[in-house]
Amino acid sequence: MGQLFSDMETMSKNNNDGDLVSSFNAYFKNIKAENKIISQETIKLIELQLDKGSIQGANSLISDALKNIGDAPINIAVTGESGGGKSSFINALLGIGPEEEGAAEIGVIETTMKRTSYKHPKIKTLTLWDLPGIGTQKFPPNAYLEEVKFKEYDFFVVVSATRFTKLELDLAKAIGIMKKNYYFVRTKVDTDLENEKRSKPRTFEREKTLKQIRSYSVKTFSDNSMAVPQIFLVSNYDLSNYDFPVLMDTLIKDLNVQKRHNFMLSLPDITEAAIDRKHKATQQFIWLEAFKAGVLATFPVVGILRDNDVEKLNRSLNFYRRIFGVDDESLELVAKDLQVPVGQVKEIIKSPHLLKASREETLGKKLLKYLEKFASANGGLLATGLYFRKTFCLQLHFLDTVTEDAKVLLRWTYSKH
């Protein structure tokens, strides 16, 4: 393709160390602690290097942080009695249906001690582990935890469709003693509500029934002289309802900061808030890469988009579409679920057409328009005073477009149900 367009780009209007520190600080100070993908300690260390004028030192810290984010494994253990909704809960976290490839098999009777791993289809560092219920074993919680290699997991989710057994409570105690986080999840809440409504059509009250379900679970803990933890009421088939979004927020907050980014990217787009959170995480990653590339550009450079730049943009766009569930494969699944032509689904979104040229407009002119649109909307870059290279500005524009597509698709899908 050769040169698409060229102009003069600089890192910032006044590229000095003080500006770099203030720009870096300005970006991260507006992001909540639980949403940051690098620790506050790392942010301070980078600022310190910039303040000392050590561009290479700051670059090295950012490179290490990005590598740690990309490589950090996330292991989630899910346990509970057979029939309690473990497999459906795992599939919900994987974002796949029960009949799709790689899904946890539903309705399987546990007969062995063997744990089963399930890799997330989009986030390769995330693994969910289906552990057999402790009630099926013949040894105490401590031995059970050793057998299932408890040290490997970031946290445990204890799942039940009725009430938590004493064995499960004892297991939670042992997990706590071993300094691991655990969460109690009460599944099949939608089924309970339907059954109650069917049996008491005139007196049924949704909130009252939910309160009764929660109280019933709480009583289990008080009956066993245990402090009552937070109990999450969920439906594995209606994730935007009940406590599933609250559970996800809790897990994100409790996770190691290095693992937070990829876990946020793995979450299903069940609400606009979930989509926004995923957007913020991805934006930070792009911003850090752009800052790292930019701080080395201490002199004006000619901005040229070559073939390999366009290839990189295409890879980035495809990654964003996949993570936000607006890639071709995801759109085909949506169309199949709603029993509509896939072309009808594609009509409502913009991202599939971002890198497609037309007879009326070359790709170069199209990308230039995107840059102009991005610059006018962001006033430089996110009001930090930095002017990053074109490829990063375009990545941020692509991310914004994909994010809006995900929201449009979510609203459209709900309107069809």
DSSP per residue over 63-87, as a string? Answer: HHHHHHHHH--EEEEEE--TTSSHH
Question: Taking a C-beta distance cutoff of 8 angstroms, is the pair 77, 151 a contact?
Answer: no
Q: Which of the 8 DSSP states describes residue 12?
A: B
pLDDT of residue 137: 67
pLDDT of residue 350: 93
pLDDT of residue 4: 35
Question: Is domain 74-255 annotated with CATH 3.40.50.300?
Answer: yes
pLDDT of residue 247: 95
Torsion of the alpha carbons at 406, 409, 410 and 416, rounded to the nearest 10? -170
Question: Taking a C-beta distance cutoff of 8 angstroms, is the pair 108, 100 a contact?
Answer: no
Alpha-carbon separation of residue 23 from 7, 61, 385 (angstroms): 23, 17, 7
pLDDT of residue 259: 92
pLDDT of residue 76: 96
Q: How far apart are the first and last CA of the chain?
A: 45
Strand partners, 116: 130
Question: Taking a C-beta distance cutoff of 8 angstroms, is the pair 60, 54 a contact?
Answer: no
Q: Which of the 8 DSSP states describes residue 103?
A: P
- pLDDT truncated to tens, each residue of the chain (417 aa)? 333 333 323 333 344 555 677 778 888 888 888 888 999 999 999 999 988 888 889 989 999 999 999 899 999 999 987 778 888 899 999 988 877 778 887 766 655 568 899 999 999 999 999 998 777 667 788 888 888 888 999 999 999 888 888 888 888 888 888 888 999 999 999 999 999 999 998 899 999 999 999 998 888 888 888 888 889 999 988 888 899 999 999 999 899 888 999 999 998 898 999 999 999 999 999 989 988 877 544 333 345 567 778 888 999 999 999 999 999 999 999 999 889 999 999 999 999 989 888 777 788 788 878 877 776 666 544 434 455 677 888 898 999 999 999 999 999 998 876
pLDDT of residue 379: 55
Burial of 324 (0-12, 13-18, 19+ CB in 10 A): buried
Residue for token digits 């796949």? 96
- Smallest CA-to-CA distance from 50 within 28, 27, 13, 19 is with 19
| Exposure on the CB side of residue 192, measured as CA atoms within 13 A | 25
Task: List the domain boundaries for the chain.
Answer: 6-37+269-416, 74-255
Residue for token digits 């497999």? 87
Q: What is the rounded distance in angstroms from the CA atom of residue 34 to the CA atom of residue 166? A: 33
pLDDT of residue 417: 65
pLDDT of residue 412: 93
Residue for token digits 């946020």? 264
pLDDT of residue 383: 39
pLDDT of residue 382: 41
Q: What is the rounded distance in angstroms from the CA atom of residue 124 to the CA atom of residue 135? A: 31
